Structure 1
Amino acid sequence: MNMAVAKNRRDYSMIQNILMTSFANILIMGVTTLTSIVTARMFGATGKGELAAVLFWPAFISGLAALGLPTSLIYNVKKHRDQLPTYISMSFAVQLPISLIAGIISWFGIPLWLSGYSESVVTIARWYTVSMVPILLLMGVLAASAQGTEKFHIYNLSRLLAPLFNLFGLVALWATGLLTVEKAIMISFAANILVLLGYMFMMRQQIFGSINQLVAQFKTCIHLFSYGIRVYGVELLGTLYNQFDKIIILALLTPMDFGLYSVVYALSRMFNVVQMAITNVIFPKVAGMEQGKVLTLVGRAFRISMVLMTIIIIPSMLIGRFFIGLLFGPEFLQASSTFYLLSLECIVGGGSWILASAFNALGRPGVIVLRQVIALGVTITLFFVLTPLFGLFGIGLALLLGSFVRILMSLISISVIFKMPIRKMLYDRADISFLKDRLREKNILKGAGKDAKLAKDSSHG
């Protein structure tokens, strides 16, 4: 009976964390959308494109420079929780010099890629990227530490505060008539600094717990870097896959096109809040579990999320064009067809990342590397073929086709490697019973607690 109670509590805890993270994702999406509306209305499509071009580079470069350490930290802290302070300190020690190298490369590379933009935009992009990359890398380590120790309240609060501070600053400048692209960048930088300081304060014990013993405990971190290098391929390809569309637009299209795309892309990501929450929660939960349990939990999360998001996306796409014109302005309506494609891609791509959690949790990230290589090759080829022909619509179509490649390869790999039939991953009639049980979870836990107490009393009687 006690084992049953513990199992119910673990399941309930995972559901709570997914719901909490989903709610945080919805709030973040709402704040981000409001921010996008303010900047779109204030700057127009061209100015919005210039702002998006500056903000793009730090996220892209930090994704390339993370070396898989955040994911490795989540994986290893489940096995060696007592080593968390050492993992954090060692990650900091490695990523700071990496930030310096990334900054030097960015300083000389950004002017080449933004050759179609004004000199002032290029200058801002260079300084902002060099300053923000180390901040984002450190925040990534702290976010992984919070996830690995299942402190999702810290993880979600920190993710929400940065866009919230940014929105408050932008609205204040807009209300006083002082908002410019340069000041918008300064607000973004200040917001991230505040969040980093907050992160460091909330996790100060883990950060400073073993700095004095860092050198002596270097050997304990070998498995951290070993797994990080293995999973880095997945994350590198994931970053390239998620950001290559922006790189293509920067290279082949205009600042106005980038402004249009940044709005509809951000708006389409609202359909990914639940799947992203599941991905963020389920990997820390299933890491270290046996194969059957991992596949059961990941498969159930994949199936339920795909059904729920498909139900949500159909009516949302029908009214999406109306809201684009109402919120952002008539000039953004020319990208509405791209919005439809990106919305579908968001659901398919989100499902593929849930499936990827199974391979990472079972120590097989190399499978996802192969998947990403093939999907990235297909998508990039389609970018160069479809973008000159169809513009932004071609970008959206290439991304959608690439997402289908990823999800199909994931299902086939699960079937071949783990001997799990594809139909089992796509349909399980037990999912309905699971959802009903979770809706009655509180009552079940109370009942189980009473049964356990009665069993204990009877054993003493």
Structure 2
Amino acid sequence: MGGLSMKRIIRNDSLIGTILLSSITNFSVMMLTMIHSIIIARMLGVEGRGELAVIVFWPVFLSGLVGLGLPTSLIYNVKQNKSNNKVSAFVKVIFIYLIPISLITGIVAWFCLPIWLENYSLTAIQLAQMYTLFSIPLTLSTNILSALAKSFDKFHISNGLLLSVPLLNAISLIVLGLSGYLNLITATISYLIPSILAVIAGGIVLKRQISKSHLYKLPINAESTKQLFRYGVKVYGLDLMSTIYTQADKLIIVSLLTPRDLGLYSVVFALSRVFNTVQLAITDVLFPKVTGLEREEILSIVGKSFRISMMLMVTLLIPSLFIGRFLLGILFGKEFLEASTTFYILSLECIIGGGSWILASSFNAIGRPELVLIRQAIAIAINVVLFFIFTPLLGLEGLALALLSGAVVRLIITLVQIPHAFNVPLRCILYDHADFAYLKNILKEKRIRKGRMVS
């Protein structure tokens, strides 16, 4: 039953193709991010890289705090009702909330950033204030537009939004670097302008997916508001925990360490995320794809995705670690090699954490996000304690060890939760002898299609 459902979904909805496209996009984004780091590290040095990292950090962090779970709620509710008028009402309600909350958050950040960044230069503080004020609404809008595209299975649009910003950013940094005009101010501007262009382009493209009418003419729908915020509040705790979990490491560095440490960490962290390319793509695609299916189908798809991705990524880990250290020295400079051990730990953390997020997507798909919230709360509590124990003792390596511990805890808790949520034994998630046959069939179908195209 599960195998038949899997084949039906792959053939009808191109699940494998969508995951492949998202994997390529995520890998491209990571490569572009690496190009950003190389250019900035070479031109501005380790401390300059750290100052720019703290400037662009705040909008991402603060947007996660005030998003109220609305992107995930939008996907869930649109999947339940794809009426044009209903979707338009959802979008209007979201933007009525986002506009004032963006302004309030930006103003609060403007006055608080000088306190939070007292160890940074005056230029870095002022740039962080301006960048945060303008970028919070852009980041929130991008998240909503991406969620809307995914809810319509328009993954090429969401991937385009994801890719366009770092691509334009890389081009601008290269031009600035070659012309000799790259500094902290121009680098910050090069991060801001692509975000503006991406939101404008995404809004124009997705306007045709929503409705032919103008949003401002639509009345505010009380039922749509209730549906959005009801589910949004349920997943907000999860989003909040996720934001804190993924950004707490930077907060700890800003609080306890130096701009130089943040510069080193930003580079090795970005390089380690290459190992998460496929798993991140699977997580992004699975939730909108499996939401609304029967529980048996959801577990079959999610379990297979988890097992195969973990097997592939662990196989690639050991040889890739040696290549990663080589690239670290060649591309960024010898001074970054002092963070190589941190890179090893973060790479392992990336794979374990990525696998746990794939499994967690099954809870969101069945409308049980509180299960993910529980595991996130426990993992964050452990992380916070270990951050303050390991970081003062071991520096960046201690920070990475704390993150690895949290990833292991998340995976263990998720594996304990699944048997109870789906009423199945744990071995159904950990092993299935049909996985190898499934991979062979996928490769065989690819070769057959390729042969037909050639003939």
TM-score, length of structure 2 as denominator length: 0.94
Residue 60 of structure 2 is matched in structure 1 by 59
Deviations 1:400-422 (A, max 9, x none): 00000001000100112222222
Whether 1:46 aligns to 2:50 is no
| Whole-angstrom CA distance in 1 between matches of 2:147 and 2:35 | 27
Whether 1:150 aligns to 2:153 is yes
| Whole-angstrom CA distance in 2 between matches of 1:439 and 1:104 | 54
Shift of 1:212: 4.8
Whether 1:196 aligns to 2:199 is yes
Whether 1:223 aligns to 2:231 is no
Over the aligned positions, Cα root-mean-square deviation in angstroms equals 1.8
Deviations 1:325-356 (A, max 9, x none): 10000110100000000000000110111111
Deviations 1:56-81 (A, max 9, x none): 11111111111100011111111111
| Whole-angstrom CA distance in 1 between matches of 2:252 and 2:279 | 26
Please say which of residues 370-379 and 7-16 is displaced more in the overlay: 7-16
SS of the residue corresponding to residue 181 of structure 2 reads: coil
Q: Which of 362, 368, 388 is residue 366 of structure 2 equivalent to? A: 362
Deviations 1:104-151 (A, max 9, x none): 221122111111001111111011001000011011100000111110
1:407-422 counterparts in 2 under 5 A?
A: 407-422=411-426
| Whole-angstrom CA distance in 1 between matches of 2:407 and 2:271 | 18
Shift of 1:6: 8.7
1:280-429 counterparts in 2 under 5 A?
A: 280-429=284-433
Q: Which amino acid in structure 2 is aligned with residue 32 of structure 1? A: T
- Structure 1: stretches of 5+ with no match in the other structure: 447-461
SS of the residue corresponding to residue 440 of structure 1 reads: helix
| Whole-angstrom CA distance in 2 between matches of 1:440 and 1:142 | 36
Shift of 1:425: 0.6
Shift of 1:281: 0.5
| Whole-angstrom CA distance in 2 between matches of 1:7 and 1:243 | 38
Q: Which amino acid in structure 2 is aligned with residue 435 of structure 1? A: L
Q: Which amino acid in structure 2 is aligned with residue 187 of structure 1? A: S
TM-score, length of structure 1 as denominator length: 0.93
In 1, are the aligned partners of 2:142 and 2:161 still within 8 Å (CA)? no
Aligned length: 444
Whether 1:438 aligns to 2:439 is no
Q: Which amino acid in structure 2 is aligned with residue 123 of structure 1? A: Q
Q: Which amino acid in structure 1 is aligned with residue 69 of structure 2? A: G
Shift of 1:441: 3.3
| Structure 1 residues 179 and 212, CA gap change in structure 2 (3 angstroms) | closer
Residue 453 of structure 1 is matched in structure 2 by none
Shift of 1:439: 2.1
In 2, are the aligned partners of 1:89 and 1:207 still within 8 Å (CA)? no
| Whole-angstrom CA distance in 2 between matches of 1:48 and 1:216 | 45
Deviations 1:28-80 (A, max 9, x none): 11111111100010111111000101011111111111110001111111111
Deviations 1:285-322 (A, max 9, x none): 01111111111111111111100111111101122211
Residue 258 of structure 1 is matched in structure 2 by 262
Taking only the aligned residue pairs, the percentage that are identical comes to 48
In 1, are the aligned partners of 2:62 and 2:136 still within 8 Å (CA)? yes
Q: Which amino acid in structure 2 is aligned with residue 63 of structure 1? A: G
In 2, are the aligned partners of 1:283 and 1:358 still within 8 Å (CA)? yes
Shift of 1:205: 2.0
1:8-157 counterparts in 2 under 5 A?
A: 10=11, 13-82=14-83, 83-157=86-160
In 2, are the aligned partners of 1:9 and 1:445 still within 8 Å (CA)? no
In 1, are the aligned partners of 2:6 and 2:300 still within 8 Å (CA)? no
Whether 1:171 aligns to 2:174 is yes
| Whole-angstrom CA distance in 1 between matches of 2:216 and 2:117 | 44
| Whole-angstrom CA distance in 2 between matches of 1:65 and 1:250 | 21
Q: Which amino acid in structure 2 is aligned with residue 310 of structure 1? A: V
In 1, are the aligned partners of 2:6 and 2:297 still within 8 Å (CA)? no
Q: Which amino acid in structure 1 is aligned with residue 49 of structure 2? A: K
Shift of 1:174: 0.6
